[in-house]
Chains A and B, each alone.
Chain A
Amino acid sequence: MSQGFRESVSERVSSAISDHGEGAFGRWLLLAPALIVLLALLYLPTLFILRESVLTDAGTSLAYYGQIVADAYYQSVAVRTVKVALVVTVIDFALGFPLAYAAVRGGRLLGGVIVIATLAPLSVDLVIRTYGWYILLGRGGLVTNVLVVLGVGSQSHQPQLLFNTTGIIIGLVQVLLPFMVFPIMTILHTIPREYEEAARNLGANRFGVFLRILLPLSLPGIAAGMLLVFTNSIAAYVTPAILGGSTQTLATKITGIFTTSNDWGLGSALAMLLVVVAVLVIVGYQRAMENAGGSVGGTGGEH
């Protein structure tokens, strides 16, 4: 293509954007690619999961859902998945709030260290990060050996930290911690330091300042962080697949059904359980972000 042609095309595109970008039509035109991607690859396809889940040999029925509800095995997997997600959410809050607070109030050096320590792992392949835990938590691994030295179990009966829910929880707590820290950090930045000083001057101790000042004011950020951690924990695949061994969660079970069998109807019905949770979380998350005064976007996921 000639230089002149390219320039005239660019000129037309940029003038079209500046002429029409302000008008309603132009805006929808700019949004069109994103909306088409959303509609064609997310919203409609999610309806096809629903379709597959109610399509049985006997026509449209809820047979797959009935099968799941009646089966004690699926019940135990679902209960385990929710339990793991709740425990991970609570631990991540217990670790994430102090981290976010120290990052915001703790001076440049500590703040920088915390931001790097929470940010850096996000850029590393999840498989590799989880492999680190696989090494540390396994038999003869560093964590198990330290626990034995501390008197937990013995050399011949090492504590079992891998291939069970404990392993899944440890891995997920680390993988999802940034999604608790960042929303809380964002909202702590908006709370003036003077509030804490005033409370202390009036006689409140550290715990009182946390309970009466910081906690209520940062609730929207905490809610957003908890929702992100909870939903990502429920739908996480890589970490439970590597650290859980034969201990299944909903996500590993669903993936197993889709990749090794043709029972897509059953898999879709199980997936719909996660869809319901995800939709509730999206609505709640948006509410929380609006209360927090958040603008475009939010913090992303990690599964």
Chain B
Amino acid sequence: MAADNPGGGSSLPVSKAFGWLFRLLVYGAIVFTVAPLIAVVLLSFRPNPYGKAVISAGWPSFVWYGKLPDLISNLGFASSLISSLEVAIATTVISTVIGGLAAYAVVQKDFRYSSALETALVSPLVYPWLLMAIAILMALNYVSDVTGLRFSMSIWTLLAGHVLFTFPYPIRTIGAGLQNYNEELDEAARNLGATRLDTVRNVTLPLLRPGILSGAAFVFILSFNQYIISLFLSGTSIQTVPLLMFNLIKAQSPPQIAVLGTLLMAGMVVLTVIVEYVAGMSRYI
């Protein structure tokens, strides 16, 4: 492999040492990034509920997976899952539409202000989530002060926060699709007698589908996993999955957390693999 031998035939000690350091860093970093995920999966098969060893006597055991139905009903996991799915699906629809429309405007070549506009549109990607949550909280606080009405946290404040931090992702993916889009295909369809609606439905949307699907998948995953914005904006009635998992960490035994974590991980991996296969999601990173 070229990367293993960037020095070619050089046999200088500096070069050799640098090559070894390079390999150590690369393989070390790969192990490092997957270590906590593997630890959680391995831990979910540990029968012993106590301690922090990843593997103990009797491993692997499916005893905690057997107790999963009890675990789900006792811990309120089912209702959290429903809340999270509701919020994530609604966010996905809203953010993909908002982002898609904006993408269409931004890619026009002769558009003035496009540099300043881009900075503005991508600013939620760089702006810390914690600050978005506090900002929305303070805005509500101000509106309450001025109008005398009391606003409490609800699904609407939660959705507002989730849309804010996710809508730039579809701009990126759909914008990439639009930049490579050949408008002559639309014209060809129209010349062959297709109505505008037919053209949009049968030509434009299918060609843009990878970008739309990838953007929607990014939004769904980010919204489903969001913690800090949900902590500030969900109020007391809604507990999303990340909020629940955070609270369970200190209350439940390690393998129980690990079983739930492994299942959530599996769900996300399946979703990612499907979207990657259908739409080539990783191209848009």
Picked from B33, B40, B97, the residue with its CB within 8 Å of the CB of A128 is B40
In the assembled complex, 11 residue pairs joining A and B whose CB atoms fall closer than 8 Å, in A order, are A15-B196, A27-B108, A38-B164, A45-B139, A98-B29, A120-B34, A135-B40, A135-B254, A142-B39, A282-B123, A300-B218
Nearest chain B CB to A104 CB, angstrom units? 8
Residues of chain B within 8 A of A205, CB atoms compared: 7, 10, 12, 14-15, 18
At the interface with chain B, which of A64-72, A75-83, A148-156, A270-278? A270-278
Assess the A37–B164 pair: CB atoms within 8 A.
Answer: yes
Nearest chain A CB to B254 CB, angstrom units? 6
Assess the B227–A238 pair: CB atoms within 8 A.
Answer: yes
Nearest chain B CB to A4 CB, angstrom units? 12
Interface of A is mostly: helix
Within the assembled complex, what's the spacing in Å between the Cα atoms of A196 and B6? 9
Picked from B6, B102, B122, the residue with its CB within 8 Å of the CB of A30 is B102
At the interface with chain A, which of B61-69, B70-78, B168-176? B168-176
A244 at the interface (CB under 8 A from B): no
Assess the B130–A297 pair: CB atoms within 8 A.
Answer: no
Known pairs A27-B105, A174-B33, A297-B171; A138 contacts B126 (CB<8 A): no
* Residues in chain A within 8 A of chain B (CB atoms): 7, 10-11, 14-15, 17-18, 21-22, 24, 26-28, 30-31, 33-35, 37-38, 40-42, 44-46, 48-49, 51-52, 94-96, 98-99, 101-102, 105-107, 110, 113-115, 117-136, 138-142, 173-174, 177, 182, 196, 200, 205-207, 209-210, 227-228, 231-232, 234-235, 237-238, 241-242, 251, 254-255, 258-259, 264, 267-268, 271, 274-275, 278, 281-283, 285-286, 290, 295-301, 303
Query: How many of chain B's residues touch chain A, expressed as a range?
Result: 35 or more
Nearest chain A CB to B89 CB, angstrom units? 17
Nearest chain A CB to B168 CB, angstrom units? 7
Assess the A207–B14 pair: CB atoms within 8 A.
Answer: yes
Residues of chain B within 8 A of A278, CB atoms compared: 126-128, 131
Assess the B242–A127 pair: CB atoms within 8 A.
Answer: yes
Residues of chain A within 8 A of B108, CB atoms compared: 21-22, 27
Known pairs A105-B2, A127-B249; A33 contacts B101 (CB<8 A): yes
Assess the A45–B32 pair: CB atoms within 8 A.
Answer: no
Assess the B169–A52 pair: CB atoms within 8 A.
Answer: no
Assess the B164–A42 pair: CB atoms within 8 A.
Answer: yes
Residues of chain A within 8 A of B30, CB atoms compared: 99, 113-114, 117
B209 at the interface (CB under 8 A from A): no
Picked from A94, A102, A210, A237, the residue with its CB within 8 Å of the CB of B227 is A237
B185 at the interface (CB under 8 A from A): no
Picked from B52, B115, B121, B130, the residue with its CB within 8 Å of the CB of A274 is B130
Known pairs A34-B171, A206-B15; A301 contacts B129 (CB<8 A): yes
Assess the B168–A254 pair: CB atoms within 8 A.
Answer: no
Can you name 4 extra interface pairs (CB under 8 A) apart from A26-B105, A205-B12, A295-B179? Answer: A35-B120, A129-B40, A130-B36, A135-B254
Nearest chain-A residue to B100 (Cβ)? A30
Nearest chain A CB to B247 CB, angstrom units? 10
Nearest chain B CB to A242 CB, angstrom units? 7
Residues of chain A within 8 A of B106, CB atoms compared: 31, 296
Known pairs A125-B225, A200-B10, A274-B130; A131 contacts B269 (CB<8 A): no
Known pairs A48-B138, A238-B227, A258-B137; A95 contacts B32 (CB<8 A): yes
Within the assembled complex, what's the spacing in Å between the Cα atoms of A285 and B222? 21
B246 at the interface (CB under 8 A from A): yes
Known pairs A37-B163, A110-B3, A123-B272; A206 contacts B22 (CB<8 A): yes
Within the assembled complex, what's the spacing in Å between the Cα atoms of A45 and B142? 9
Residues of chain B within 8 A of A241, CB atoms compared: 246
Residues of chain A within 8 A of B105, CB atoms compared: 21, 26-28, 30-31
Within the assembled complex, what's the spacing in Å between the Cα atoms of A105 and B8? 14
Picked from B18, B225, B228, the residue with its CB within 8 Å of the CB of A255 is B228
Residues of chain B within 8 A of A129, CB atoms compared: 36-37, 40
Closest 3 CB pairs of A and B: A132-B36, A297-B172, A106-B3
Nearest chain B CB to A175 CB, angstrom units? 9
Known pairs A30-B101, A106-B3; A51 contacts B138 (CB<8 A): yes
Nearest chain A CB to B230 CB, angstrom units? 11
Nearest chain A CB to B57 CB, angstrom units? 14
Assess the B7–A119 pair: CB atoms within 8 A.
Answer: no
Within the assembled complex, what's the spacing in Å between the Cα atoms of A254 and B222? 23
Known pairs A41-B136, A135-B54, A205-B10; A125 contacts B245 (CB<8 A): yes
B277 at the interface (CB under 8 A from A): no
Nearest chain B CB to A173 CB, angstrom units? 8
Residues of chain B within 8 A of A118, CB atoms compared: 33
